[in-house]
Amino acid sequence: MKLKASEHGSVLIIELKGKIMGGPDANMFRDTLKEHLDKGVKKVVVDLGKVDWMNSSGLGILIGGLTTVKNADGEMKLARVTEKIKSLLMITKLIQVFDSHETVETAIASFSE
Amino acid sequence: MKKIEKLVIPSDTDRLPEVDQFAEKMTGELDFSRDLRDDIAISVSEAVNNAILHGNKNDGSKNVTVEFHKLENGIQINISDEGGGFESNEVPDPTKPENIMETTGRGLLIIRHLMDRVDIEPYKNGTKVTMVKYYIKDNA
Protein backbone atom coordinates (compact mmCIF):
# COMPACT_ATOMS: atom_id res chain seq x y z
CA MET A 1 0.00 0.00 0.00
CA LYS A 2 1.12 3.54 -0.70
CA LEU A 3 -0.28 6.51 1.21
CA LYS A 4 -0.24 10.22 0.39
CA ALA A 5 -1.64 12.80 2.79
CA SER A 6 -2.50 16.38 1.83
CA GLU A 7 -4.59 19.18 3.29
CA HIS A 8 -7.32 20.95 1.37
CA GLY A 9 -8.21 23.88 3.60
CA SER A 10 -9.32 22.28 6.87
CA VAL A 11 -9.83 18.85 5.29
CA LEU A 12 -7.20 16.08 5.43
CA ILE A 13 -7.19 13.96 2.29
CA ILE A 14 -5.58 10.55 2.59
CA GLU A 15 -5.01 8.94 -0.79
CA LEU A 16 -4.42 5.19 -0.68
CA LYS A 17 -2.93 3.24 -3.58
CA GLY A 18 -2.26 -0.40 -4.44
CA LYS A 19 -3.31 -3.42 -2.40
CA ILE A 20 -4.29 -3.06 1.25
CA MET A 21 -3.72 -6.37 3.01
CA GLY A 22 -2.75 -5.65 6.60
CA GLY A 23 0.66 -5.97 8.21
CA PRO A 24 2.45 -2.58 8.13
CA ASP A 25 -0.43 -0.90 6.25
CA ALA A 26 -2.45 -0.40 9.45
CA ASN A 27 0.37 1.40 11.27
CA MET A 28 1.03 3.69 8.31
CA PHE A 29 -2.65 4.74 8.15
CA ARG A 30 -3.08 5.08 11.93
CA ASP A 31 0.12 7.14 12.37
CA THR A 32 -0.85 9.54 9.56
CA LEU A 33 -4.32 9.99 11.00
CA LYS A 34 -3.04 10.53 14.54
CA GLU A 35 -0.45 13.06 13.41
CA HIS A 36 -3.13 15.25 11.80
CA LEU A 37 -5.79 14.76 14.50
CA ASP A 38 -3.21 15.88 17.07
CA LYS A 39 -2.83 19.10 15.05
CA GLY A 40 -6.60 19.70 15.32
CA VAL A 41 -7.83 18.31 11.99
CA LYS A 42 -11.50 17.22 12.29
CA LYS A 43 -12.46 16.47 8.67
CA VAL A 44 -10.95 13.52 6.82
CA VAL A 45 -11.55 12.15 3.32
CA VAL A 46 -10.06 8.78 2.38
CA ASP A 47 -9.61 8.58 -1.40
CA LEU A 48 -9.82 4.94 -2.53
CA GLY A 49 -9.81 5.60 -6.28
CA LYS A 50 -6.34 4.08 -6.82
CA VAL A 51 -6.77 1.03 -4.59
CA ASP A 52 -6.59 -2.25 -6.54
CA TRP A 53 -8.21 -4.25 -3.75
CA MET A 54 -8.29 -4.63 0.00
CA ASN A 55 -8.98 -7.56 2.29
CA SER A 56 -10.71 -7.61 5.68
CA SER A 57 -7.58 -6.11 7.26
CA GLY A 58 -8.02 -3.14 4.93
CA LEU A 59 -11.67 -2.83 5.96
CA GLY A 60 -10.49 -3.02 9.59
CA ILE A 61 -8.08 -0.16 8.93
CA LEU A 62 -10.95 1.98 7.63
CA ILE A 63 -13.23 1.04 10.56
CA GLY A 64 -10.44 1.78 13.03
CA GLY A 65 -9.87 5.13 11.34
CA LEU A 66 -13.56 6.00 11.46
CA THR A 67 -13.71 5.22 15.19
CA THR A 68 -10.53 7.22 15.89
CA VAL A 69 -11.83 10.26 14.01
CA LYS A 70 -15.27 10.07 15.66
CA ASN A 71 -13.64 9.82 19.10
CA ALA A 72 -11.82 13.06 18.27
CA ASP A 73 -15.22 14.67 17.44
CA GLY A 74 -14.39 14.59 13.76
CA GLU A 75 -15.90 13.16 10.58
CA MET A 76 -14.38 10.72 8.07
CA LYS A 77 -15.76 10.08 4.60
CA LEU A 78 -14.78 7.81 1.74
CA ALA A 79 -14.36 8.97 -1.84
CA ARG A 80 -14.00 7.18 -5.20
CA VAL A 81 -14.83 3.75 -3.82
CA THR A 82 -14.07 1.21 -6.57
CA GLU A 83 -16.53 -1.51 -7.59
CA LYS A 84 -14.35 -4.19 -5.97
CA ILE A 85 -14.29 -2.40 -2.61
CA LYS A 86 -17.98 -1.53 -2.90
CA SER A 87 -18.77 -5.24 -3.25
CA LEU A 88 -16.76 -5.98 -0.08
CA LEU A 89 -18.60 -3.21 1.77
CA MET A 90 -21.89 -4.79 0.62
CA ILE A 91 -20.88 -8.32 1.68
CA THR A 92 -19.83 -7.11 5.13
CA LYS A 93 -22.74 -4.60 5.44
CA LEU A 94 -20.16 -1.88 6.13
CA ILE A 95 -21.79 0.08 3.32
CA GLN A 96 -24.23 1.36 5.96
CA VAL A 97 -21.41 2.54 8.24
CA PHE A 98 -19.43 4.70 5.81
CA ASP A 99 -20.45 7.93 4.11
CA SER A 100 -19.23 7.39 0.55
CA HIS A 101 -18.94 9.96 -2.27
CA GLU A 102 -18.32 9.74 -6.00
CA THR A 103 -15.49 12.30 -5.94
CA VAL A 104 -13.10 13.85 -3.44
CA GLU A 105 -14.66 17.23 -4.20
CA THR A 106 -18.21 16.10 -3.32
CA ALA A 107 -16.89 14.48 -0.16
CA ILE A 108 -15.23 17.75 0.86
CA ALA A 109 -18.38 19.73 0.06
CA SER A 110 -20.51 17.40 2.19
CA PHE A 111 -18.87 18.30 5.49
CA SER A 112 -21.05 20.30 7.84
CA GLU A 113 -19.62 23.74 8.60
CA MET B 1 2.12 -24.17 -14.31
CA LYS B 2 2.94 -27.55 -12.78
CA LYS B 3 0.00 -29.42 -11.26
CA ILE B 4 0.97 -28.38 -7.71
CA GLU B 5 2.98 -25.31 -6.66
CA LYS B 6 3.86 -24.66 -3.03
CA LEU B 7 5.02 -21.71 -0.91
CA VAL B 8 5.99 -21.98 2.76
CA ILE B 9 6.37 -18.83 4.87
CA PRO B 10 6.97 -18.21 8.58
CA SER B 11 4.16 -16.59 10.60
CA ASP B 12 4.80 -12.93 9.79
CA THR B 13 2.19 -10.66 8.19
CA ASP B 14 5.03 -8.67 6.60
CA ARG B 15 5.36 -11.69 4.26
CA LEU B 16 1.84 -11.17 2.83
CA PRO B 17 3.10 -9.28 -0.26
CA GLU B 18 5.23 -12.34 -1.09
CA VAL B 19 2.13 -14.54 -0.88
CA ASP B 20 0.28 -12.10 -3.12
CA GLN B 21 3.06 -12.22 -5.72
CA PHE B 22 2.87 -16.02 -5.64
CA ALA B 23 -0.92 -15.95 -6.12
CA GLU B 24 -0.55 -13.42 -8.97
CA LYS B 25 1.95 -15.69 -10.71
CA MET B 26 -0.17 -18.81 -10.28
CA THR B 27 -3.46 -17.30 -11.46
CA GLY B 28 -1.75 -15.36 -14.26
CA GLU B 29 -0.98 -18.66 -15.96
CA LEU B 30 -4.64 -19.69 -15.95
CA ASP B 31 -7.80 -18.64 -17.73
CA PHE B 32 -9.18 -16.27 -15.07
CA SER B 33 -10.37 -12.70 -15.65
CA ARG B 34 -8.66 -9.86 -13.78
CA ASP B 35 -11.72 -9.63 -11.52
CA LEU B 36 -11.62 -13.32 -10.58
CA ARG B 37 -7.85 -13.18 -10.07
CA ASP B 38 -8.41 -10.37 -7.57
CA ASP B 39 -11.10 -12.43 -5.80
CA ILE B 40 -8.62 -15.31 -5.48
CA ALA B 41 -5.82 -12.99 -4.29
CA ILE B 42 -8.07 -11.42 -1.65
CA SER B 43 -9.19 -14.86 -0.42
CA VAL B 44 -5.61 -16.17 -0.26
CA SER B 45 -4.52 -13.11 1.73
CA GLU B 46 -7.47 -13.60 4.11
CA ALA B 47 -6.73 -17.28 4.69
CA VAL B 48 -2.98 -16.70 5.18
CA ASN B 49 -3.70 -13.80 7.54
CA ASN B 50 -6.03 -16.05 9.58
CA ALA B 51 -3.43 -18.84 9.59
CA ILE B 52 -0.75 -16.46 10.91
CA LEU B 53 -2.86 -14.61 13.47
CA HIS B 54 -5.45 -17.14 14.66
CA GLY B 55 -3.83 -20.48 13.73
CA ASN B 56 -0.16 -19.97 14.52
CA LYS B 57 -0.86 -17.02 16.84
CA ASN B 58 2.03 -15.01 15.36
CA ASP B 59 4.56 -17.66 16.42
CA GLY B 60 7.45 -17.10 13.99
CA SER B 61 8.71 -20.65 14.51
CA LYS B 62 5.50 -22.01 12.94
CA ASN B 63 4.94 -21.96 9.18
CA VAL B 64 2.03 -21.39 6.84
CA THR B 65 1.91 -23.53 3.70
CA VAL B 66 0.12 -22.35 0.55
CA GLU B 67 -0.50 -24.88 -2.25
CA PHE B 68 -2.03 -24.17 -5.65
CA HIS B 69 -3.51 -27.22 -7.41
CA LYS B 70 -4.45 -26.78 -11.04
CA LEU B 71 -7.80 -28.43 -11.81
CA GLU B 72 -9.47 -29.19 -15.15
CA ASN B 73 -12.10 -26.58 -14.44
CA GLY B 74 -10.35 -24.10 -12.14
CA ILE B 75 -7.96 -23.95 -9.22
CA GLN B 76 -7.84 -25.37 -5.70
CA ILE B 77 -5.81 -23.61 -3.02
CA ASN B 78 -4.89 -25.26 0.28
CA ILE B 79 -3.64 -23.12 3.16
CA SER B 80 -2.48 -24.90 6.29
CA ASP B 81 -1.06 -23.73 9.59
CA GLU B 82 0.65 -25.44 12.51
CA GLY B 83 -1.49 -23.96 15.28
CA GLY B 84 -3.97 -25.54 17.62
CA GLY B 85 -6.95 -25.34 15.27
CA PHE B 86 -10.12 -23.28 15.61
CA GLU B 87 -13.87 -23.71 15.25
CA SER B 88 -15.09 -21.64 12.31
CA ASN B 89 -18.68 -21.82 13.59
CA GLU B 90 -17.55 -20.03 16.76
CA VAL B 91 -16.61 -16.88 14.82
CA PRO B 92 -19.20 -14.18 15.66
CA ASP B 93 -21.33 -12.87 12.78
CA PRO B 94 -19.47 -9.65 11.80
CA THR B 95 -22.57 -8.21 10.12
CA LYS B 96 -24.60 -8.05 13.34
CA PRO B 97 -25.06 -4.53 14.72
CA GLU B 98 -23.13 -5.37 17.90
CA ASN B 99 -20.10 -6.47 15.83
CA ILE B 100 -20.25 -4.09 12.87
CA MET B 101 -17.66 -1.66 14.29
CA GLU B 102 -15.16 -4.40 15.13
CA THR B 103 -11.89 -4.07 13.21
CA THR B 104 -11.46 -7.84 12.73
CA GLY B 105 -13.55 -10.98 12.12
CA ARG B 106 -14.63 -10.55 8.46
CA GLY B 107 -12.08 -12.79 6.73
CA LEU B 108 -14.13 -16.00 6.52
CA LEU B 109 -17.26 -14.13 5.48
CA ILE B 110 -15.35 -12.59 2.56
CA ILE B 111 -13.70 -15.87 1.53
CA ARG B 112 -17.08 -17.65 1.47
CA HIS B 113 -18.51 -14.93 -0.80
CA LEU B 114 -15.59 -14.76 -3.21
CA MET B 115 -14.72 -18.45 -3.62
CA ASP B 116 -16.94 -21.20 -5.05
CA ARG B 117 -16.09 -23.83 -2.42
CA VAL B 118 -14.54 -23.46 1.04
CA ASP B 119 -13.75 -26.27 3.49
CA ILE B 120 -12.09 -25.88 6.87
CA GLU B 121 -10.78 -28.96 8.65
CA PRO B 122 -8.22 -30.08 11.23
CA TYR B 123 -4.92 -30.98 9.56
CA LYS B 124 -1.93 -32.56 11.31
CA ASN B 125 -1.36 -30.21 14.27
CA GLY B 126 -3.30 -27.31 12.82
CA THR B 127 -6.03 -26.30 10.40
CA LYS B 128 -6.32 -26.58 6.62
CA VAL B 129 -8.49 -24.27 4.55
CA THR B 130 -9.34 -25.60 1.08
CA MET B 131 -10.71 -23.08 -1.41
CA VAL B 132 -11.80 -23.70 -4.99
CA LYS B 133 -12.51 -21.21 -7.76
CA TYR B 134 -13.97 -22.45 -11.05
CA TYR B 135 -13.44 -20.79 -14.42
CA ILE B 136 -17.21 -20.88 -14.88
CA LYS B 137 -19.39 -21.18 -11.81
CA ASP B 138 -21.70 -23.74 -13.52
CA ASN B 139 -18.78 -26.18 -13.32
CA ALA B 140 -19.27 -26.38 -9.56
Which regions of chain A are under pLDDT 70?
A: 113
The complex's ipTM works out to: 0.92
Could you tell me if B33 lies within 8 Å of chain A, comparing CB atoms?
no
Strand order through the sheet with A100-101: A2-8, A11-20, A43-54, A75-79, A100-101
| pLDDT given at position B100 | 97
| pLDDT given at position B123 | 85
| Superfamily of domain covering A2-109 | STAS domain (3.30.750.24)
Contact B16 A22 (CB under 8 A): yes
Contact A24 B46 (CB under 8 A): no
| Neighbour tally for B69: CB within 10 Å | 18
| pLDDT given at position B1 | 62
CATH 3.30.565.10 fits B4-139, yes or no: yes
- The domain locations on chain A are 2-109
Contact B106 A92 (CB under 8 A): yes
- pLDDT, averaged per 10 consecutive residues of chain B (140 residues), comes to 86 93 94 95 96 94 96 96 78 94 96 97 91 78
Closest CA relative to residue B22, chosen from B64, B58, B55, B85: B64
- The domain locations on chain B are 4-139
The full 3-state SS of A2-25, as one line of letters, equals EEEEEEECCEEEEEEEEEECCCHH
